[in-house]
Chains A and B, each alone.
Chain A
Amino acid sequence: MLRVIKQGVMASIQDIGRFGYRHYGVCRSGALDPFAVCLANMLLDNPPHQAVIEITIGLAEFEFAQPCNFALTGGCLNAKLADRPIYPGWRYYAHAGDKLTFATSASAQRAYFTVQGGFALEPTLSSYSTDLQAGFGGHQGRALQTDDCLNYQKSSTELAPLGVKQPEYKKQVRVLKGPHCDKLPAGSFEQLINAPWTVSEVSNRMGSRFSSASLLSHNVAIATQAVHPGVIQVPPSGEPIVLLNDCQTTGGYPIVATVIDADLRMFSQLGANQQCNFVECDLTQARKASDKLSAHLAQFNLAKNNN
Protein backbone atom coordinates (compact mmCIF):
# COMPACT_ATOMS: atom_id res chain seq x y z
CA MET A 1 0.00 0.00 0.00
CA LEU A 2 1.17 3.52 -0.82
CA ARG A 3 -0.06 6.17 1.59
CA VAL A 4 -0.24 9.84 0.65
CA ILE A 5 1.29 11.79 3.52
CA LYS A 6 1.26 15.15 1.72
CA GLN A 7 -0.55 15.67 -1.57
CA GLY A 8 1.64 18.66 -2.47
CA VAL A 9 0.52 21.14 -5.14
CA MET A 10 -1.19 18.41 -7.15
CA ALA A 11 -0.73 14.69 -7.63
CA SER A 12 -3.09 12.59 -9.74
CA ILE A 13 -3.37 9.16 -11.31
CA GLN A 14 -2.78 9.30 -15.07
CA ASP A 15 -1.93 6.99 -17.96
CA ILE A 16 -1.45 7.74 -21.66
CA GLY A 17 -5.01 9.08 -21.88
CA ARG A 18 -8.60 8.26 -22.69
CA PHE A 19 -9.46 7.71 -26.34
CA GLY A 20 -12.68 6.98 -28.23
CA TYR A 21 -15.14 9.16 -26.30
CA ARG A 22 -14.42 12.63 -27.67
CA HIS A 23 -17.76 12.72 -29.51
CA TYR A 24 -19.44 12.62 -26.09
CA GLY A 25 -17.38 15.59 -24.94
CA VAL A 26 -14.95 13.43 -22.93
CA CYS A 27 -11.43 14.87 -22.95
CA ARG A 28 -8.20 12.89 -23.25
CA SER A 29 -6.86 13.50 -19.71
CA GLY A 30 -3.66 11.47 -19.16
CA ALA A 31 -0.07 12.38 -18.36
CA LEU A 32 1.25 15.57 -19.99
CA ASP A 33 4.31 13.46 -20.80
CA PRO A 34 2.98 10.08 -22.00
CA PHE A 35 6.52 9.10 -22.97
CA ALA A 36 7.53 9.29 -19.29
CA VAL A 37 4.62 6.96 -18.49
CA CYS A 38 5.98 4.36 -20.92
CA LEU A 39 9.54 4.67 -19.61
CA ALA A 40 8.48 4.34 -15.95
CA ASN A 41 6.49 1.20 -16.75
CA MET A 42 9.20 -0.29 -18.96
CA LEU A 43 11.81 0.18 -16.22
CA LEU A 44 9.68 -2.21 -14.13
CA ASP A 45 8.59 -4.60 -16.93
CA ASN A 46 5.01 -3.36 -16.50
CA PRO A 47 2.76 -3.08 -19.58
CA PRO A 48 3.80 0.37 -20.97
CA HIS A 49 0.39 2.04 -20.61
CA GLN A 50 -0.31 1.29 -16.96
CA ALA A 51 -1.24 4.06 -14.51
CA VAL A 52 1.37 6.28 -12.88
CA ILE A 53 1.22 9.17 -10.42
CA GLU A 54 1.81 12.58 -11.98
CA ILE A 55 3.36 14.99 -9.46
CA THR A 56 2.86 18.64 -10.38
CA ILE A 57 5.34 21.21 -8.97
CA GLY A 58 6.19 18.92 -6.03
CA LEU A 59 6.06 19.28 -2.23
CA ALA A 60 4.44 15.85 -2.01
CA GLU A 61 5.25 12.95 0.30
CA PHE A 62 4.35 9.25 0.14
CA GLU A 63 5.00 6.22 2.31
CA PHE A 64 5.51 2.66 1.07
CA ALA A 65 3.78 0.32 3.54
CA GLN A 66 5.23 -2.79 1.86
CA PRO A 67 8.55 -3.27 0.07
CA CYS A 68 8.46 -2.73 -3.67
CA ASN A 69 10.40 -1.76 -6.76
CA PHE A 70 9.37 1.57 -8.24
CA ALA A 71 10.47 3.81 -11.10
CA LEU A 72 10.81 7.59 -11.32
CA THR A 73 10.68 9.51 -14.63
CA GLY A 74 9.86 12.98 -15.97
CA GLY A 75 11.38 16.18 -14.63
CA CYS A 76 13.73 16.35 -11.65
CA LEU A 77 11.73 17.61 -8.64
CA ASN A 78 14.60 16.75 -6.27
CA ALA A 79 13.01 13.58 -4.98
CA LYS A 80 14.38 11.60 -2.06
CA LEU A 81 13.81 8.03 -0.91
CA ALA A 82 14.38 7.60 2.82
CA ASP A 83 16.24 10.93 2.78
CA ARG A 84 18.63 9.91 -0.02
CA PRO A 85 18.44 11.77 -3.35
CA ILE A 86 17.03 9.78 -6.29
CA TYR A 87 16.90 10.73 -9.97
CA PRO A 88 14.41 10.49 -12.82
CA GLY A 89 15.09 7.75 -15.37
CA TRP A 90 15.93 5.09 -12.74
CA ARG A 91 14.24 2.30 -10.83
CA TYR A 92 14.72 1.92 -7.07
CA TYR A 93 13.78 -0.40 -4.25
CA ALA A 94 11.74 0.85 -1.30
CA HIS A 95 11.70 -0.96 2.05
CA ALA A 96 8.57 -1.10 4.18
CA GLY A 97 8.11 2.29 5.83
CA ASP A 98 10.37 4.19 3.40
CA LYS A 99 9.22 7.69 2.51
CA LEU A 100 9.35 9.15 -0.99
CA THR A 101 9.44 12.95 -0.98
CA PHE A 102 9.38 15.54 -3.74
CA ALA A 103 10.77 19.03 -3.27
CA THR A 104 10.50 21.58 -6.13
CA SER A 105 12.69 22.79 -8.95
CA ALA A 106 13.01 26.00 -10.93
CA SER A 107 13.54 24.09 -14.15
CA ALA A 108 11.04 21.21 -13.90
CA GLN A 109 7.31 21.01 -13.29
CA ARG A 110 6.26 17.36 -13.35
CA ALA A 111 7.59 13.99 -12.23
CA TYR A 112 6.08 10.54 -12.67
CA PHE A 113 6.38 7.38 -10.61
CA THR A 114 4.82 3.96 -10.45
CA VAL A 115 5.40 0.63 -8.75
CA GLN A 116 6.22 -2.82 -10.11
CA GLY A 117 2.95 -4.51 -11.10
CA GLY A 118 1.13 -1.16 -11.01
CA PHE A 119 -1.46 0.21 -8.57
CA ALA A 120 -4.72 -1.68 -8.00
CA LEU A 121 -7.21 0.53 -9.87
CA GLU A 122 -10.27 -0.01 -12.07
CA PRO A 123 -10.31 1.66 -15.49
CA THR A 124 -13.19 4.03 -16.32
CA LEU A 125 -14.07 4.46 -20.01
CA SER A 126 -11.04 2.37 -20.99
CA SER A 127 -8.48 4.44 -19.07
CA TYR A 128 -7.01 4.89 -15.57
CA SER A 129 -6.57 8.64 -16.10
CA THR A 130 -8.26 11.07 -13.74
CA ASP A 131 -10.67 13.42 -15.50
CA LEU A 132 -10.14 16.26 -13.03
CA GLN A 133 -12.89 18.51 -14.45
CA ALA A 134 -15.64 15.92 -14.78
CA GLY A 135 -14.54 14.03 -11.67
CA PHE A 136 -14.17 10.43 -12.72
CA GLY A 137 -11.40 7.88 -13.34
CA GLY A 138 -8.10 7.55 -11.46
CA HIS A 139 -8.54 7.38 -7.69
CA GLN A 140 -12.14 8.38 -6.81
CA GLY A 141 -12.30 10.79 -9.74
CA ARG A 142 -10.10 13.41 -8.11
CA ALA A 143 -6.53 14.47 -7.38
CA LEU A 144 -4.82 12.53 -4.58
CA GLN A 145 -5.30 13.82 -1.03
CA THR A 146 -3.52 13.31 2.26
CA ASP A 147 -4.31 9.86 3.73
CA ASP A 148 -5.37 8.33 0.40
CA CYS A 149 -4.10 4.77 0.07
CA LEU A 150 -3.27 2.96 -3.17
CA ASN A 151 -2.79 -0.77 -3.13
CA TYR A 152 -0.06 -2.64 -4.95
CA GLN A 153 1.54 -6.08 -4.91
CA LYS A 154 4.52 -6.11 -2.54
CA SER A 155 7.81 -7.39 -3.93
CA SER A 156 10.42 -8.85 -1.64
CA THR A 157 13.01 -9.17 -4.41
CA GLU A 158 15.03 -6.07 -5.17
CA LEU A 159 15.56 -5.67 -8.92
CA ALA A 160 19.05 -4.80 -10.12
CA PRO A 161 19.56 -1.06 -10.65
CA LEU A 162 18.44 0.04 -14.12
CA GLY A 163 18.34 3.44 -15.77
CA VAL A 164 17.17 4.81 -19.09
CA LYS A 165 18.15 7.95 -20.95
CA GLN A 166 15.20 10.34 -21.09
CA PRO A 167 14.99 12.52 -24.20
CA GLU A 168 15.73 16.13 -23.31
CA TYR A 169 12.98 18.59 -22.42
CA LYS A 170 13.47 21.61 -24.66
CA LYS A 171 12.07 25.12 -24.72
CA GLN A 172 11.68 24.94 -28.47
CA VAL A 173 8.67 23.17 -29.89
CA ARG A 174 8.02 22.28 -33.50
CA VAL A 175 4.68 23.21 -35.03
CA LEU A 176 2.73 22.59 -38.23
CA LYS A 177 0.93 25.51 -39.86
CA GLY A 178 -2.74 25.66 -38.86
CA PRO A 179 -5.87 25.72 -41.03
CA HIS A 180 -7.05 29.28 -40.26
CA CYS A 181 -3.91 31.27 -41.13
CA ASP A 182 -5.63 32.73 -44.21
CA LYS A 183 -8.47 34.04 -42.02
CA LEU A 184 -6.25 35.54 -39.31
CA PRO A 185 -4.50 38.88 -39.95
CA ALA A 186 -1.62 38.47 -42.45
CA GLY A 187 1.63 37.44 -40.78
CA SER A 188 0.05 35.89 -37.67
CA PHE A 189 1.74 32.51 -38.17
CA GLU A 190 5.11 34.17 -38.90
CA GLN A 191 4.77 36.23 -35.74
CA LEU A 192 4.09 33.06 -33.74
CA ILE A 193 7.30 31.56 -35.14
CA ASN A 194 9.51 34.64 -34.85
CA ALA A 195 8.54 36.13 -31.50
CA PRO A 196 9.80 34.83 -28.16
CA TRP A 197 6.79 33.76 -26.06
CA THR A 198 6.44 33.64 -22.30
CA VAL A 199 4.25 31.10 -20.49
CA SER A 200 1.54 32.97 -18.61
CA GLU A 201 0.54 32.19 -15.03
CA VAL A 202 -2.98 31.09 -15.96
CA SER A 203 -1.63 27.96 -17.64
CA ASN A 204 -2.79 24.56 -16.41
CA ARG A 205 -3.49 21.01 -17.63
CA MET A 206 -6.14 22.37 -20.04
CA GLY A 207 -3.73 24.62 -21.85
CA SER A 208 -0.58 26.73 -21.79
CA ARG A 209 -1.28 30.38 -22.52
CA PHE A 210 1.46 32.59 -23.93
CA SER A 211 2.18 36.30 -24.01
CA SER A 212 4.64 38.42 -25.94
CA ALA A 213 5.46 42.08 -26.57
CA SER A 214 3.05 42.10 -29.47
CA LEU A 215 0.09 39.76 -29.53
CA LEU A 216 -1.87 38.05 -32.34
CA SER A 217 -5.07 40.05 -31.73
CA HIS A 218 -7.88 39.63 -34.24
CA ASN A 219 -11.66 39.62 -34.61
CA VAL A 220 -12.06 36.43 -36.60
CA ALA A 221 -14.89 34.03 -35.77
CA ILE A 222 -14.94 30.42 -36.92
CA ALA A 223 -17.61 27.74 -36.58
CA THR A 224 -16.96 25.59 -33.49
CA GLN A 225 -14.95 22.54 -34.51
CA ALA A 226 -13.22 19.57 -32.88
CA VAL A 227 -9.91 20.38 -31.18
CA HIS A 228 -7.35 18.22 -29.36
CA PRO A 229 -4.12 18.47 -27.35
CA GLY A 230 -1.47 20.29 -29.41
CA VAL A 231 -3.87 22.61 -31.23
CA ILE A 232 -2.82 26.28 -30.85
CA GLN A 233 -5.91 28.46 -30.63
CA VAL A 234 -5.85 32.23 -30.78
CA PRO A 235 -8.61 34.00 -28.83
CA PRO A 236 -9.36 37.60 -29.93
CA SER A 237 -7.05 38.93 -27.16
CA GLY A 238 -4.16 37.51 -29.21
CA GLU A 239 -2.52 35.34 -26.53
CA PRO A 240 -2.05 31.94 -28.18
CA ILE A 241 -3.14 28.90 -26.16
CA VAL A 242 -1.53 25.51 -26.67
CA LEU A 243 -4.29 23.05 -25.78
CA LEU A 244 -3.15 20.25 -23.45
CA ASN A 245 -4.59 16.95 -22.24
CA ASP A 246 -7.56 18.30 -20.24
CA CYS A 247 -8.75 20.59 -23.07
CA GLN A 248 -12.36 20.57 -24.22
CA THR A 249 -13.24 18.49 -27.27
CA THR A 250 -14.49 21.43 -29.34
CA GLY A 251 -13.39 25.03 -29.66
CA GLY A 252 -14.46 28.17 -31.46
CA TYR A 253 -11.20 30.12 -31.76
CA PRO A 254 -9.15 30.13 -34.98
CA ILE A 255 -6.25 27.66 -35.08
CA VAL A 256 -2.92 29.20 -36.06
CA ALA A 257 -0.77 26.04 -35.71
CA THR A 258 -0.52 22.63 -34.05
CA VAL A 259 2.36 21.36 -31.90
CA ILE A 260 3.75 18.10 -33.28
CA ASP A 261 2.92 15.01 -31.20
CA ALA A 262 6.56 14.29 -30.32
CA ASP A 263 7.06 17.78 -28.79
CA LEU A 264 3.84 18.00 -26.76
CA ARG A 265 5.71 16.45 -23.81
CA MET A 266 7.78 19.64 -23.49
CA PHE A 267 4.74 21.36 -21.97
CA SER A 268 4.88 18.98 -19.00
CA GLN A 269 7.95 20.92 -17.81
CA LEU A 270 7.26 24.52 -18.96
CA GLY A 271 6.39 26.65 -15.96
CA ALA A 272 4.93 30.14 -15.63
CA ASN A 273 7.20 32.96 -16.87
CA GLN A 274 9.48 30.61 -18.81
CA GLN A 275 10.27 31.38 -22.44
CA CYS A 276 9.39 29.16 -25.34
CA ASN A 277 9.95 29.33 -29.09
CA PHE A 278 7.81 27.83 -31.82
CA VAL A 279 9.65 26.41 -34.84
CA GLU A 280 7.94 25.57 -38.12
CA CYS A 281 8.28 22.04 -39.47
CA ASP A 282 6.49 19.84 -42.00
CA LEU A 283 4.54 16.63 -41.70
CA THR A 284 7.49 14.44 -42.70
CA GLN A 285 9.66 15.96 -39.96
CA ALA A 286 6.80 15.57 -37.46
CA ARG A 287 6.45 11.86 -38.31
CA LYS A 288 10.23 11.38 -38.08
CA ALA A 289 10.23 12.95 -34.61
CA SER A 290 7.48 10.55 -33.47
CA ASP A 291 9.31 7.59 -35.00
CA LYS A 292 12.46 8.63 -33.16
CA LEU A 293 10.63 8.49 -29.82
CA SER A 294 9.18 5.06 -30.68
CA ALA A 295 12.66 3.87 -31.68
CA HIS A 296 13.98 5.11 -28.32
CA LEU A 297 11.46 2.87 -26.53
CA ALA A 298 12.19 -0.09 -28.80
CA GLN A 299 15.95 0.26 -28.25
CA PHE A 300 15.52 0.44 -24.50
CA ASN A 301 13.38 -2.70 -24.59
CA LEU A 302 16.00 -4.50 -26.63
CA ALA A 303 18.90 -3.39 -24.42
CA LYS A 304 16.96 -4.33 -21.29
CA ASN A 305 16.18 -7.84 -22.54
CA ASN A 306 19.75 -8.48 -23.64
CA ASN A 307 21.15 -7.75 -20.20
Chain B
Amino acid sequence: MLDAHSYLLGENALVVALHTDKPSPSEQRRLFALTVSLQHSNAFLDIVPAKASVTAYLADPSQYQYWLKKAMLLWEESEEVAFNVQTHHIDAIYGGEHGPDLMDVAQRLNLSAKQVVECHSEYTYQVEFLGFLPGFAYLGTLPDPLQLPRKSTPRKQVPKGSIAIAEDLSAIYPSSSPGGWHLLGHCSHTLFDPTANPPSLFAPGDKVIFIPNKEGIC
Protein backbone atom coordinates (compact mmCIF):
# COMPACT_ATOMS: atom_id res chain seq x y z
CA MET B 1 0.00 0.00 0.00
CA LEU B 2 1.17 3.52 -0.76
CA ASP B 3 2.36 5.54 2.21
CA ALA B 4 1.37 8.90 0.70
CA HIS B 5 -1.02 10.52 -1.75
CA SER B 6 -1.12 13.74 -3.77
CA TYR B 7 -3.98 16.16 -4.29
CA LEU B 8 -4.69 19.71 -5.39
CA LEU B 9 -5.67 22.15 -2.62
CA GLY B 10 -7.59 24.99 -4.24
CA GLU B 11 -6.44 25.83 -7.75
CA ASN B 12 -2.66 25.80 -7.56
CA ALA B 13 -1.40 24.13 -4.39
CA LEU B 14 -0.06 20.65 -5.03
CA VAL B 15 0.04 18.63 -1.79
CA VAL B 16 1.93 15.40 -1.15
CA ALA B 17 0.61 14.12 2.18
CA LEU B 18 1.69 11.07 4.17
CA HIS B 19 -1.03 8.78 5.45
CA THR B 20 0.34 9.15 8.95
CA ASP B 21 0.14 12.28 11.11
CA LYS B 22 3.36 11.38 12.90
CA PRO B 23 6.08 10.65 10.35
CA SER B 24 9.13 8.62 11.38
CA PRO B 25 12.51 10.40 11.24
CA SER B 26 13.22 8.51 8.02
CA GLU B 27 9.93 9.64 6.44
CA GLN B 28 10.69 13.18 7.51
CA ARG B 29 14.10 13.09 5.82
CA ARG B 30 12.39 11.80 2.67
CA LEU B 31 9.97 14.75 2.81
CA PHE B 32 12.96 17.13 2.90
CA ALA B 33 14.49 15.23 -0.03
CA LEU B 34 11.20 15.61 -1.92
CA THR B 35 11.22 19.35 -1.14
CA VAL B 36 14.68 19.60 -2.70
CA SER B 37 13.74 17.71 -5.87
CA LEU B 38 10.62 19.87 -6.27
CA GLN B 39 12.81 22.98 -5.84
CA HIS B 40 15.07 21.78 -8.66
CA SER B 41 12.12 21.63 -11.06
CA ASN B 42 11.62 25.45 -10.99
CA ALA B 43 7.90 24.78 -11.53
CA PHE B 44 6.75 26.30 -8.22
CA LEU B 45 6.37 29.75 -6.68
CA ASP B 46 6.86 28.39 -3.19
CA ILE B 47 7.39 25.00 -1.55
CA VAL B 48 6.25 24.61 2.03
CA PRO B 49 7.11 21.47 4.00
CA ALA B 50 4.97 20.83 7.09
CA LYS B 51 4.50 18.10 9.70
CA ALA B 52 3.55 15.25 7.37
CA SER B 53 3.29 16.90 3.96
CA VAL B 54 4.90 19.11 1.35
CA THR B 55 2.80 21.76 -0.42
CA ALA B 56 4.11 23.24 -3.66
CA TYR B 57 2.45 26.26 -5.28
CA LEU B 58 2.36 25.78 -9.06
CA ALA B 59 3.66 28.65 -11.20
CA ASP B 60 1.52 27.30 -14.06
CA PRO B 61 -1.68 25.83 -12.57
CA SER B 62 -2.62 24.20 -15.90
CA GLN B 63 0.24 21.71 -15.30
CA TYR B 64 -1.45 20.22 -12.24
CA GLN B 65 -2.31 16.81 -13.66
CA TYR B 66 1.28 16.19 -14.70
CA TRP B 67 2.55 17.29 -11.28
CA LEU B 68 0.02 15.22 -9.29
CA LYS B 69 1.64 12.13 -10.84
CA LYS B 70 5.20 13.42 -11.08
CA ALA B 71 5.28 14.47 -7.41
CA MET B 72 4.30 10.93 -6.38
CA LEU B 73 7.08 9.46 -8.54
CA LEU B 74 9.54 11.89 -6.92
CA TRP B 75 8.25 10.81 -3.49
CA GLU B 76 8.76 7.11 -4.29
CA GLU B 77 12.27 7.85 -5.50
CA SER B 78 13.13 10.23 -2.70
CA GLU B 79 15.82 8.80 -0.47
CA GLU B 80 17.12 9.96 2.81
CA VAL B 81 19.99 11.65 1.04
CA ALA B 82 22.07 14.09 2.98
CA PHE B 83 20.97 17.47 1.71
CA ASN B 84 22.57 20.78 2.54
CA VAL B 85 21.86 20.98 6.27
CA GLN B 86 23.10 23.85 8.38
CA THR B 87 23.70 23.42 12.09
CA HIS B 88 22.97 26.41 14.33
CA HIS B 89 24.35 26.77 17.87
CA ILE B 90 22.04 28.92 19.96
CA ASP B 91 23.44 30.70 23.00
CA ALA B 92 20.61 30.22 25.52
CA ILE B 93 20.09 31.85 28.91
CA TYR B 94 17.74 29.58 30.86
CA GLY B 95 15.52 30.49 33.80
CA GLY B 96 14.94 33.59 35.90
CA GLU B 97 13.47 36.58 34.04
CA HIS B 98 14.69 35.02 30.77
CA GLY B 99 12.64 31.86 31.22
CA PRO B 100 9.69 32.74 33.47
CA ASP B 101 8.05 29.30 33.10
CA LEU B 102 11.11 27.16 33.86
CA MET B 103 10.30 26.59 37.56
CA ASP B 104 6.64 25.84 36.83
CA VAL B 105 7.56 23.41 34.04
CA ALA B 106 10.10 21.65 36.30
CA GLN B 107 7.48 21.27 39.02
CA ARG B 108 4.86 19.91 36.64
CA LEU B 109 7.33 17.41 35.19
CA ASN B 110 8.71 16.35 38.59
CA LEU B 111 12.19 17.45 37.61
CA SER B 112 14.61 20.03 38.92
CA ALA B 113 15.13 23.21 36.88
CA LYS B 114 18.68 22.03 36.16
CA GLN B 115 17.39 18.69 34.84
CA VAL B 116 14.94 20.47 32.52
CA VAL B 117 17.79 22.62 31.15
CA GLU B 118 20.07 19.59 30.74
CA CYS B 119 17.40 17.61 28.96
CA HIS B 120 16.42 20.51 26.67
CA SER B 121 20.01 21.36 25.73
CA GLU B 122 21.56 17.91 25.28
CA TYR B 123 19.38 17.11 22.29
CA THR B 124 19.93 18.15 18.65
CA TYR B 125 16.69 19.45 17.14
CA GLN B 126 15.64 19.57 13.52
CA VAL B 127 13.59 22.35 11.93
CA GLU B 128 10.48 20.41 10.90
CA PHE B 129 8.89 23.43 9.25
CA LEU B 130 8.29 27.16 9.72
CA GLY B 131 4.97 28.91 10.29
CA PHE B 132 2.95 31.03 12.74
CA LEU B 133 5.31 34.04 12.34
CA PRO B 134 8.06 34.85 9.83
CA GLY B 135 11.11 32.87 10.95
CA PHE B 136 9.21 30.83 13.59
CA ALA B 137 10.64 27.31 13.32
CA TYR B 138 8.97 24.22 14.78
CA LEU B 139 11.87 22.23 16.31
CA GLY B 140 11.37 18.53 16.72
CA THR B 141 11.30 16.39 18.55
CA LEU B 142 11.27 17.50 22.16
CA PRO B 143 12.51 14.68 24.46
CA ASP B 144 9.62 12.72 26.07
CA PRO B 145 10.29 13.81 29.68
CA LEU B 146 9.75 17.48 28.69
CA GLN B 147 6.48 17.08 26.82
CA LEU B 148 3.45 18.86 28.24
CA PRO B 149 0.37 20.61 26.77
CA ARG B 150 0.31 24.31 25.93
CA LYS B 151 -0.49 26.80 28.67
CA SER B 152 -4.22 26.99 29.38
CA THR B 153 -4.13 30.81 29.09
CA PRO B 154 -1.82 32.16 26.39
CA ARG B 155 0.38 35.18 27.16
CA LYS B 156 -0.64 38.41 25.45
CA GLN B 157 2.99 39.22 24.73
CA VAL B 158 5.87 36.75 24.51
CA PRO B 159 9.19 38.63 24.23
CA LYS B 160 11.25 38.33 21.04
CA GLY B 161 13.98 35.69 21.44
CA SER B 162 12.06 33.55 23.96
CA ILE B 163 12.95 29.84 23.89
CA ALA B 164 9.78 27.87 24.41
CA ILE B 165 8.32 24.36 24.50
CA ALA B 166 4.85 22.85 24.00
CA GLU B 167 3.71 19.31 23.25
CA ASP B 168 6.49 17.54 21.31
CA LEU B 169 8.13 20.73 19.97
CA SER B 170 10.48 23.52 20.91
CA ALA B 171 10.74 26.95 19.26
CA ILE B 172 12.26 30.42 19.50
CA TYR B 173 9.98 33.48 19.06
CA PRO B 174 11.56 35.56 16.23
CA SER B 175 9.50 38.61 17.20
CA SER B 176 7.28 39.44 20.13
CA SER B 177 3.76 38.07 19.74
CA PRO B 178 0.96 36.49 21.74
CA GLY B 179 1.76 32.85 22.51
CA GLY B 180 0.74 29.84 24.56
CA TRP B 181 4.06 28.02 24.86
CA HIS B 182 6.09 27.58 28.06
CA LEU B 183 9.08 29.94 28.20
CA LEU B 184 12.29 28.25 29.37
CA GLY B 185 14.90 30.80 28.33
CA HIS B 186 16.01 33.51 25.97
CA CYS B 187 18.53 34.09 23.19
CA SER B 188 19.64 37.21 21.37
CA HIS B 189 20.18 35.74 17.89
CA THR B 190 18.36 37.52 15.02
CA LEU B 191 16.02 34.88 13.63
CA PHE B 192 14.25 36.98 11.02
CA ASP B 193 15.48 40.04 9.12
CA PRO B 194 13.36 41.03 6.12
CA THR B 195 16.29 42.97 4.62
CA ALA B 196 18.63 39.93 4.65
CA ASN B 197 18.88 37.19 2.06
CA PRO B 198 17.66 34.67 3.10
CA PRO B 199 15.48 36.56 5.60
CA SER B 200 15.25 33.63 8.02
CA LEU B 201 18.14 32.15 10.05
CA PHE B 202 16.47 28.74 10.02
CA ALA B 203 15.39 26.79 6.95
CA PRO B 204 13.37 23.56 6.93
CA GLY B 205 15.65 20.61 7.73
CA ASP B 206 18.32 22.64 9.60
CA LYS B 207 19.76 21.34 12.90
CA VAL B 208 19.60 23.39 16.09
CA ILE B 209 21.63 22.93 19.28
CA PHE B 210 21.05 25.01 22.43
CA ILE B 211 24.18 25.90 24.45
CA PRO B 212 23.31 26.95 28.04
CA ASN B 213 24.89 30.30 28.91
CA LYS B 214 26.53 30.65 32.34
CA GLU B 215 24.40 33.71 33.07
CA GLY B 216 21.39 31.46 33.51
CA ILE B 217 20.68 28.03 34.95
CA CYS B 218 23.05 25.46 33.46
Contacts and interface: CB of A to CB of B under 8 A. Distances in A.
Tell me, yes or no, whether A binds B: yes
Contact of B194 (A124, A222, A224): A124
Contacts of B11: 176, 258, 260-261, 283, 286-287, 290
A134 B10 contact: no
Interface string A220-263: 01111110101100000000000000001111000100111100
A226 to B, nearest CB: 3
Interface string A8-25: 000000000001111111
Contacts of B138: 224
Given A134-B192, A135-B175, A23 B132 contact: no
A96 interface: no
Interface in B112-141: 129-138
B48 interface: yes
Q: Categorize the interface residue count of chain B.
A: 35 or more
A58 B203 CA distance: 40
B191 to A, nearest CB: 10
A100 to B, nearest CB: 30
Which of A24, A176, A259 has most chain B Cβ within 10 Å?
A24
A224 B199 contact: no
A125 interface: yes
B8 interface: yes
Contacts of A250: 48, 50, 129-132
A133 interface: yes
Interface stretch (B51-59, B75-83, B151-159): B51-59
B9 A255 contact: yes
Nearest to B169: A224
Contact of A226 (B50, B62, B134): B50
A20 B48 CA distance: 10
A179 B52 CA distance: 14
Interface of B: 7-13, 15, 17-18, 21-22, 45-53, 55, 57, 61-62, 129-138, 175, 177, 192, 194-195, 198-200, 203-204
Interface of A: 19-27, 124-125, 131, 133-137, 176, 178-179, 221-226, 228, 230-231, 248-251, 255, 258-261, 283, 286-287, 290
